[in-house]
Structure 1
Amino acid sequence: MERPYILHMFTPGKQMSPFDVNMAADAGYQVLAPYCEVDLANVTALTQDAIFSRGPKGVTRTGIFIGGRDALLAADMLKQSAAAMFKPFVVSLMADPSGAYTTAAAMVACVEAALKKHHQCGLDGLRVLVMGGLGPVGRIAGVLAAQAGAQVSLSSRSGVDLAEEGAHETGTRFGVTLHGVSGKNKELVRQSLAEADVVLTCAAAGVQVVAPDDLPFAPKVKVAADVNAVAPEGFAGVGVMDDGKPVAGTQGAVGIGALAIGNVKYQTQHRLLVRMRESEKAVSLSFGDAFETARAYLAEQAAKAAG
């Protein structure tokens, strides 16, 4: 009898995300084992329990998925789990806390594609404003944009001190430069919008961070992307289905809505889980791999559309 494909799912939270469980099952994992309230201190023991019982051949059918809601903690857990293994007991790993890694990857890849299509440029040298920048999606989207050459500011409604602290913490952790700005009131939001070429709205569902009367203060914006699928939209005028549609009230910006981003996020997460399950050699997948996968998916769709 062939050994089943087993995915051990670690989360610091009280429960594993049903979304991630469904995604893992649809990617072909036959046994899904969630472990809740996992902290950094017990990742090593759980990892070694998972790998030693199956032998060198069984580890190719074993994977570890790291969830939760903290983008930085997930990166640390991924690193800790990898460090707990040694040949030939090495299994594939993937981190995607609260879907943040794949969502941020999809968001930035969609922005990059829209810039190329509508403005004949990439992210390199552009000013990117991430609103809701201290959340898990905002932090990772900021890192990916910075890695692509953008000048990135993480905006927080909690004020400049927390924004700067979070930007420094995240930038230091992943080796990029990020700036913190305050989005505490309309005047400060408009000051940030005035300098932005790209706006990524990553605030909580149902929170509008750029209102209709803010749009005249965003004259340089080329692309606005919003991950909020709950009314009202996070960036006024960007509908959930929009995929490069001009944003009314702006001077040439195009919008990318939550469901357009969500489709790319879904395809990205699915492909990464399948890759992890099918790989004969162990892989360790993080947001950089998610970004490459999202880019590849969008390139495929563009090629199909071109005939």
Structure 2
Amino acid sequence: MEKRTVLHMFDPMPHVSPFDINMAVDSGFESIFTYNNVALEQVNGLVQDAIFSRGPAGVKRTGLFIGGRDLGLALNMLDIAKNAMVPPFEVSVLADPSGACTTAAALVACVEKQLRIKHGVGLEGLCGVVYGGTGPVGIATAVIASLAGVDVKIVDPFNINTALEKADEYNARCGAKLKGTYASSDADKARLIAHADIVFCTAKAGVQVLNADILGDAKQLKVAGDINAVPPLGIEGVKRMHNGEPLVHAVNSPGAVGIGSLAVGDVKYKLQHALLAYLLTAAKPVFLDFREAFERARELV
């Protein structure tokens, strides 16, 4: 009798996201078990409990998911999980805290597609600004874009030191080339957008980051993407379902287009579903974060 498929979901927070649980069910896992308040030092033991109890055949029908709200912590947990494997007792692992990896991958892939369609260029060599760039989605977006060749600035709304520290951390960790800055006023935001080719808006839900006046200061903007689905939306004039519609307020950037949260969200949903399913179908164990997520997102768009 074939063993049931099992997903163990590790989360350092008080509860696992219901969104992620639903996604796991819809991706085909028959049995799902959640672990809350998981500390970094507990990961090794939990992983080895999961792999040694099912036998070589059972581990092929077992996956691990790492959630939470801290990208760095999730990547650390992923590293520990990988090192805890004892071949042939190995299972595949996906790290996606706060949906950061899949959301960021979907956002950058959607932007890349519109750059090619509307402007005939790729990501490499362009200048990008990530507003809300010190949060988990912002950091993942920035690193993906930087590794793809974008000159990226991550923006903290209040504190330049936070942005500089995050840039240094992920440059060292991921081989990115991020620059940190801050924007506490509309004038700061306008200064940053003036020479940006790409804008990624990954700020807190329900906060308008870029209004019409700020967009009017953009001189070479090509694509702006927003992940905020809660009114007021993050970029004035970019609606939730926009996917390459003109960015009407960027009056000094002819041809600029916008991408809205639901257009990004559609790719993110398909992407997370595909990666969860891949935990069971990969020919050998895989350890997935934003890097692999971006490669699959490129295929999906």
TM-score range, shorter chain: over 0.9
Give the C-alpha shift of residue 159 in structure 1.
2.3
1:94-113, Cα deviation, whole Å (9 max, x unpaired): 11111000000000000000
Which deviations, in whole Å up to 9, do the C-alpha atoms of 1:195-248 show, x marking residues without a partner?
211000000101111111111111211000000001111111111000000011
Q: TM-score, normalised by structure 1?
A: 0.95
Q: Is it true that 1:58 corresponds to 2:58 in the alignment?
A: yes
Q: Give CA deviations for 1:55-105 in whole Å, capped at 9, x if unaligned.
A: 111110111100001111111100100101111110111111110000000
Residue 257 of structure 1: aligned partner: 260
Corresponding residue of 2:290: 287
What amino acid sits opposite 1:125 in the alignment?
G
1:296 and 2:299 equivalent?
A: yes
Paired with 2:65 and 2:9, the residues of 1 have a C-alpha distance of 5
Structure 2 equivalent of residue 302 of structure 1: none
Instruction: Tell me if 1:273 matches 2:276.
Output: yes
Q: Which residue of 2 aligns with 1:303?
A: none
SS for the counterpart of 2:60 is helix
Q: Is the 8 A contact 1:60 1:280 kept in 2?
A: no
Could you tell me the TM-score, scaled by structure 2's length? 0.97
CA distances 1:269-301 after superposition (whole Å, capped 9, x unpaired): 111111111234221111111111111011xxx
Structure 2 unaligned residues grouped into runs of 5+: none
Kindly report which structure 2 residues correspond to 1:169-180, keeping only aligned pairs within 5 A, or say none: 169-180=169-180
How far the C-alpha of 1:174 sits from its partner, in A, is 0.9
The residue that corresponds to 1:301 in the other structure is none
CA distance in 1, matches of 2:81, 2:158: 33
Q: Which runs of no fewer than 5 residues in structure 1 stay unpaired?
A: 299-307
Q: Could you tell me which residue of structure 1 aligns to residue 226 of structure 2?
A: 226
SS in 1 for 2:233: coil
Aligned-partner Cα distance in 1 for 2:216–2:3 = 61
- Write the letter of the residue equivalent to 1:276: L
Report the equivalent of 2:89: 89
Q: Tell whether the 8 Å contact from 1:133 to 1:155 is kept in structure 2 after alignment.
A: yes
Runs (4+) off by over 6 Å: none
What per-residue deviation string (whole Å, max 9, x for no partner) do you get for residues 103-130 of structure 1?
A: 0000000000000000000111100000
The aligned runs of 1:31-46 (5 Å cut-off) are 31-46=31-46
Query: Using the alignment, how far apart are the partners of 1:159 and 1:277 within structure 2?
Result: 42
